[in-house]
Amino acid sequence: MTLQSSGAISLLDVQGEFGGSIPIGLNEYYGAASGVPASGTISLADFYGASACDTTTAPTLINTYNVTTTANPNYGRWVNITSSKYYFSFIPFQATAYVYIRNHDDSGEISVTNPVTPSIDDSFGVIAVDESTNTMVVGAPNAAAAGSNSGGTAYWFNATTGAYLNITKSTTYGGWTVFNRGVQGPQWGDRIFAENNKFFICCTKDRCGTSTTYGSIWVYNSSGTLLTNKLGTSGTSSTPGNAYGLSLTIDDLADGKIICTSSYSATAGVVNIYDYNLNHLYQWNKPAGTPQFWGAATSIGQGVIAIGAPDHAFSGAGGVLGKVYLYDYNYNLITTINSPTNNSGFGDVIRIRNGRIMIADIRYNSNIGRVYIYNLNGVLLSTIDDPNPATSGQFSSPFDYMQSKYNLMFMGRGQSGGAGSTGYFYKYSTPENSGCSGP
C-alpha cells in the first residue's frame, strides 16, 4: 500500500512497502519509486507517497462490455473488486436488475437477482463487498416504491457463490418523495460501503427515521446486526439539513475514516470526517478563494483527502477553472490540482485507490468525458477518454463508475435515452509489480 504523504515515516515503513534486507540499508532503495533518487543523497522524506505499485504506466483497455436496450442501460453502474473477483450491476429501467460476479479473467460468471419478488424498478444492484468476511450486501433503494410510504431494502449474500444468506434489512420510513428512474421513493440503500466487517448503508434523499430528519447512515456487521446509526438534522425538500455531513451521507471511506459532504453551493461547502463508529472527527468549511461547489466531489484513502471544486457541478453554470484540493490526514493542504484544459467540469468525480487519484471531467467535451490519473502527490500520469464517445453519455460519472483495485481498473458510461441506447463498461489492466498486492 502506498506510503503516507506526511507525518512520521520510518525505515520499517519503507521496508514494509518495498521489501529489503535486514539490517535495513536506505541506499538499497535507490530508484525504488517515482521521486526516490537513483543515486546520491537519499532521505526518508523522499518516500512520502511512494509506492511499490507501478503507477507510472498508463492503464491498458483489455475488454469492453456493452448492452443495447430499449431503456436506460445502466450497465456496470456499480462496481466492486476483491483479490480474485469483480462485481458489477446492470440496472435497466423498468426491467429485472442483476448483479454479476466474475473472476478477474471474466470466467465463472454468477448472476444474482433480488431474492424476493421485487418491483421491476427497485434499482437492485448497489453493491458492497467485505472480503474479510466473504459477504456481499446489495441495496435496492426503490424497493416497495409507493409514494411517501416507500422505502429501500438491502440483502446479504455469500460473496463467492452469490447464495442469499436470508438476511434482509429494510426501511419503510416515509418522507419527501423523489422522482428517480420512473418511480417515487426515498433512497435508503442508494450508497453502501463495506470494510472491516462493517456495512455502511446510506439514505440520502429521505427523512429516514423521523419526520424531522434528513439523511442517515446505518452500520451493520456481516451477520446483519445493526451496530450503530446516525441521523441528519431537520431540513426541507429544498434545504437539507447540514449538521456534520449527514444530509448527503457517505461519499467515501478508507483507513478507518469516513468522508461526508454536508452541503455545497456556489458560495459555500462543508466537508466532515467520521470514524467507523460514526464519531465526528473534523469539520471544515469552504476555504476562502476556492471555486464554486467546493466539496461537490470527495474521496479519501492512503493518507490523502481529495476535495473537488468543479465550479459548474449541479448548476450548469461554468466559467471558472475546476480544481481538486489534496489534503493530508491532519487536514493540511498538500497541493492543488488545476484542470489541465482549463475546464470548469474538472473534479466532477474523484476516486483515490491503489496509489492513484482518478479525477473525472464528465463534461469534458460536450458531455464526452475524460479521466485524469494522478499519483498521490498530484503529478499527472495519464489521461483516458471515453473509447466510445456519445454526446448524451457521461464517461465515469457517478456513482461507482470508476474503480481501481489490485491490477484492475473499471470505468463506465451510462447513456440516457430511449430505444437503441447503449451503456458501456470498460475493463483496464493496471501494471503492478510484486510489491503491489492490493488496494
The pLDDT, as a whole number, for residue 207 is: 54
Whole-number Cα distances in Å, 316 to 47, 103, 247? 41, 40, 22
Same domain, 216 and 284: no
Q: Across residues 415-437, what is the average pLDDT?
A: 64
Q: Which amino acid is it at 344?
A: S
Same domain, 208 and 273: no
**Is residue 183 predicted with pLDDT exceeding 50?**
no
Does a structural domain hold residue 84? Answer: no
The pLDDT, as a whole number, for residue 239 is: 46
Same domain, 288 and 437: yes
The pLDDT, as a whole number, for residue 173 is: 59
Same domain, 189 and 217: yes
Q: Which amino acid is it at 392?
A: S
SS3 245: helix
Low-confidence winner among 93-107, 169-183, 209-223 (lowest mean pLDDT):
169-183
Residue 24 CA to residue 430 CA, distance in Å, equals 30
Same domain, 206 and 281: no
Does a structural domain hold residue 92? Answer: no
Looking at 211, 241, 271, the residue that finishes a domain is: 241
Same domain, 192 and 149: yes
Query: The C-alpha cell of 298 is what?
Result: 470527495
Does a structural domain hold residue 99? Answer: no
Does a structural domain hold residue 425? Answer: yes
In this predicted model, which residue has the larger pLDDT, 76 or 432?
A: 76
Does a structural domain hold residue 355? Answer: yes
Residue 314 CA to residue 345 CA, distance in Å, equals 10
Same domain, 149 and 40: no
**Is residue 432 predicted with pLDDT exceeding 70?**
no
Does a structural domain hold residue 387? Answer: yes
Residue 143 CA to residue 187 CA, distance in Å, equals 9
Same domain, 31 and 168: no
Domain count, the chain: 3
Give the count of beta carbons closer than 10 Å to the beta carbon of residue 285: 13
Give the count of beta carbons closer than 10 Å to the beta carbon of residue 63: 12
Residue 261 CA to residue 85 CA, distance in Å, equals 30
Same domain, 273 and 146: no
Does a structural domain hold residue 359? Answer: yes
Same domain, 166 and 180: yes
The pLDDT, as a whole number, for residue 242 is: 47
| Virtual torsion, Cα 51, 57, 61, 62, nearest 10 deg | -70
In this predicted model, which residue has the larger pLDDT, 178 or 254?
A: 254
Same domain, 300 and 412: yes
Q: What is the DSSP string of 109-168?
A: -EEE--SS---TTS---EEEEETTTTEEEEEETTTT-BTBT--EEEEEEETTT--EEEEE
Domain range spanning residue 3?
Answer: 1-52
Residue 399 CA to residue 67 CA, distance in Å, equals 19
Low-confidence winner among 48-52, 77-81, 414-418, 421-425 (lowest mean pLDDT):
414-418
Does a structural domain hold residue 77? Answer: no
Q: Give per-residue pLDDT as tens, 215-271.
A: 778 899 999 999 998 876 654 444 444 444 455 678 899 999 999 876 666 666 788
Same domain, 419 and 294: yes
Q: Give per-residue pLDDT as tens, 25-77.
A: 777 888 776 678 877 788 888 888 777 666 667 888 998 887 665 555 577 77
pTM listed for this prediction: 0.83
Residue 304 CA to residue 322 CA, distance in Å, equals 19
